[in-house]
Amino acid sequence: HHTAADTGWGKAVWGNLYGQWISGTSVFIYDYDRFNGIKLLEKVIEYKVNTFCAPPTIYRFLIKENIEGYDFSNLSYVTTAGEPLPPEVSKRFKEISGLTIKEGFGQTETTLSIGTFIWLDAKLESIGKPSPLFDLELLDENHNRVEIGEEGELCFKMNDGPNPGLFKDYVNDDEKYKQQIHHGYYHCGDTAWVDEDGYVHFVGRNDDIIKSSGYRIGPYEVESAVLSHEAVSNCAITAYPDEVRGQIVKATIILQPGYEPSEELTKDIQNHVKRVTAPYKYPRMVEYVDEIPETISGKIRRVEIRENDKK
């Protein structure tokens, strides 16, 4: 098994040590100073890795490269976590490899709490269903349960004693603990909704959700729409301060080779997003860059983009 994860991220131990060692799995470790998706894929194939997990950004990168000729026959199971997987990426990766990427959700404070487990079929744009270890409820700002199809904060009900799979405490930070655990729940700080089949659909970190002219816009749906444009190699969607609307949608974009930034291209990308998703979600601001800030494991650092916008 190989999990592509920076050791500063909780996924590194959940994805490379605990569960794998318990089940007697060989763990493949690939160390690099700077992420290179093609080299990683070549190593996975060379060393006959069977199961593989990576953040969505790595899959995003791979589908934009010429990987149609690679041999995926040793891989039997591929998963992702860290942030939602754009459906366009999932569809394209399956076309190339024949493999369905299964999503999951966990935090440093938890084990995998929601996932597309082996007994579940993957559902596009869903992170799966709650683990039996966790009593999941979606709550509004008044701590009331929301209805099916309505957005609410992901919260796990606390038991009277220790909760299996949930952290015990923040070291020397009682205030942080009180912010996360109150009213009988552990509050994840993430917004989601549940469909009629019980599948959970992630909207975004509460801090990442864009509040524009009364609308609440999740960044991942817009990212997926932008990524489906033929000129876009990678993108990150963030909130940008606006005096009139409060916030507007900003797209930070890396273009595919052969494309150059222009007003005409910007309008084409904006119109494409309007067609693919709701018109009010299109990026009113577009910035073209050579690099998007990421962790060593390829996870987009949206907070860094927002901080740079304030300077």
User: pLDDT by residue (tens digit) across 261-298?
Assistant: 999 999 999 999 999 988 999 999 999 999 998 876 56
- Exposure letters 98-120 (e unless 16+ CB within 10 A, then b): eebbbbbbbbebbbbbbbbeeee
Is the pLDDT score of 34 beyond 90?
Answer: no
Per DSSP, what are the bridge partners of residue 195?
none
Third-level CATH fold of 131-203 = Luciferase; domain 3 (2.30.38)
Residue spans per domain, the chain = 2-99, 131-203, 207-310
Q: What percent of the chain has pLDDT over 70?
A: 98
CA distance linking residue 130 with residue 127, whole number of Å: 9
Map tokens 């489906």 to a residue. 228
pLDDT bin (cut points 50, 70, 90) of residue 48 is very high
pLDDT at 298: 62
How many Cβ atoms from other residues are within 10 Å of residue 290's Cβ? 6
pLDDT confidence bin for 46, thresholds 50/70/90: very high
pLDDT at position 82 is: 78
For residue 195, the model assigns a pLDDT of 96
| Spatial contact of 71 and 45, defined as CB atoms under 8 Å apart | yes
What is the CB neighbour count within 10 angstroms for residue 304? 14
In the DSSP assignment, the letter for residue 296 is: T
**Percentage above 90 pLDDT, the chain:** 57
- Asked if 3 and 293 count as a contact pair (C-beta separation under 8 A), the reply is no
Q: State the pairing for strand pair 210-212/285-288.
A: unpaired
The CATH code for residues 2-99 is: 3.40.50.980
Residue 228 has pLDDT above 80, yes or no: yes
Please give the pLDDT value at position 55.
Answer: 84
The predicted structure's pLDDT at residue 114: 96
The answer to whether residue 84 scores a pLDDT higher than 90 is no
Instruction: Assign domain 207-310 to its CATH architecture.
Output: 2-Layer Sandwich (3.30)
Give 110-138 pLDDT, tens digit per residue.
Answer: 888 999 999 999 998 899 999 998 999 99
- Number of neighbouring beta carbons within 10 Å of residue 76: 11
Q: What is the pLDDT of residues 160-213, one digit of tens each?
A: 777 888 998 999 999 999 999 999 999 999 999 999 999 999 988 888 889 898
**Rounded Cα–Cα distance for residues 272 and 288 (Å):** 17
What is the average pLDDT value for the chain, to the nearest integer? Answer: 90
Residue at 38: amino acid letter:
I
pLDDT value of residue 4: 87
What pLDDT, on the 0 to 100 scale, is given for residue 63? Answer: 86
pLDDT at 199: 97
Report the pLDDT value the prediction gives residue 220, as an integer from 0 to 100. 84
